[in-house]
Every structure is written in C-alpha cells, then in structure tokens.
Amino acid sequence: MPENTRFHVITGGPGSGKSTLLARLADWGIAQSDEAGRAIIRDQSAIDGPALPWRDRALFAELMLSRELHSYRAAAASSGPVIFDRGIPDVIGYLRLEGLPVPPHLLRAAESFRYNARVFFAPHWPEIYRNDAERRQDPETARRTCEAMIAVYADCGYRIVELPCAPVEVRAEFICKALA
C-alpha cells in the first residue's frame, strides 16, 4: 500500500504532551484516532483481562496492532487529514523496548499500512511528565521510549519532525502549519 499522505502520526514517549496536543487539535476540528495502548489498558483493566502490559506484553502488543489496523481502516473511510496518536511502528518500538521479538506479521503491517512520510515526534519533556492510572513508566523508561520510537520510525523509512517543547497552542499551530 502506498504512503497515505493525509494520515499523520504524532509519536513520542509517554508523558510528552501528545494527548493534550491532540485534544487541542480536535477542538480545532482536525480528525484523529485514539491511542491504542491507553484504550486497551482501560478496557482490559475494566474486565481484569490478561492483555495488560504488566501481565502479558506480547498479547498487549497484538491488541495494539489490531486496534491500529482498525483505526487505519476507519480513517480511510473519512476525507481530509487525520492525526494518529501513535501508529503501527509504535508497536514495533514497544516490543523492541521490552526486549521481545517482533513477529513477521507486524513488520508486514508496518510495510503495508503507511502514513505520511513525515512523522511528528513529541520529545521527552521531564517538566511535564506525570504518572497516572494508565501511565506507570518511570521517567527513564519514558526517555528510552522516545529513543525507541525515533529509531523505529527511521527504520521504517519515515522522516522525523520534532515538535517544540512549548505551550500546547504553539505545538498545535506548528502542526497546522505543517499540514497546510
């Protein structure tokens, strides 16, 4: 499948301001997909399920892949730009970070379901990092996650555009200018 130029990814480590930025962009009318990992953690926690990252990381990754594929297909049915809160390569980055094997079908998914060649990256930002019910990583793991995401997107042939560590309006304007 060729690059989908209207599908834009924002990636980075946990606690780097992605969710706040995406909420602002949604307020401005830009379509988006939800972050797969957070949704799975909420769902699995509600049912005391096995696919939590602290119970079964490989199963958690499979559910993230499934949700990312669903989000991609749902976005394909829309028109105009869509911002993805992470993408399929993030699942590869997660498995690499956890020292788990990356199955061939995940690599095929990353090759087949392409986003815009430019990927927005929210860098590690210690001043705003906070834990919550779904974000249990310590700041060092958050920093290493950032590094893993930069590496995996580069390995998948994407060009990284770093977002400024700036107020949400500045970041949102940065994205809007890039999309124009």
CATH at residue 78: 3.40.50.300
Q: What's the total number of domains in the chain?
A: 1
Residue 2 lies in a domain: no
SS3 122: strand
Contact yes or no for 32/44 (Cβ under 8 A):
no
Residue 32 lies in a domain: yes
State the pLDDT confidence band at 125, using cuts at 50, 70 and 90: low
Rg (CA), the chain: 15
Q: What percent of the chain has pLDDT over 70?
A: 91
Residue 109 lies in a domain: yes
Specify the amino acid at residue 12.
Answer: G
Which residue carries 């770093």 as its tokens?
162
Q: Give the separation between CA 149 and CA 94, rounded to whole angstroms.
A: 8
CA distances from 95 to 51, 72, 86, 149 (A): 14, 20, 14, 11
Residue 76 lies in a domain: yes
Looking at residue 14, its pLDDT comes to 78
Q: Give the separation between CA 25 and CA 47, rounded to whole angstroms.
A: 31
What is this structure's pTM?
0.90
Looking at residue 126, its pLDDT comes to 62
Residue 66 lies in a domain: yes
Residue 1 lies in a domain: no
Residue 20 lies in a domain: yes
Which residue carries 């090759």 as its tokens?
111
Q: Which of 53-57, 94-98, 120-124 has the lowest mean pLDDT?
A: 120-124
Instruction: Write out the residue range of the structural domain in which residue 23 sits.
Output: 7-179
Residue 99 lies in a domain: yes
Q: How many CB atoms lie within 10 A of CB 8?
A: 23
State the pLDDT confidence band at 20, using cuts at 50, 70 and 90: confident
Looking at residue 92, its pLDDT comes to 97
Residue 1 has pLDDT above 80, yes or no: no
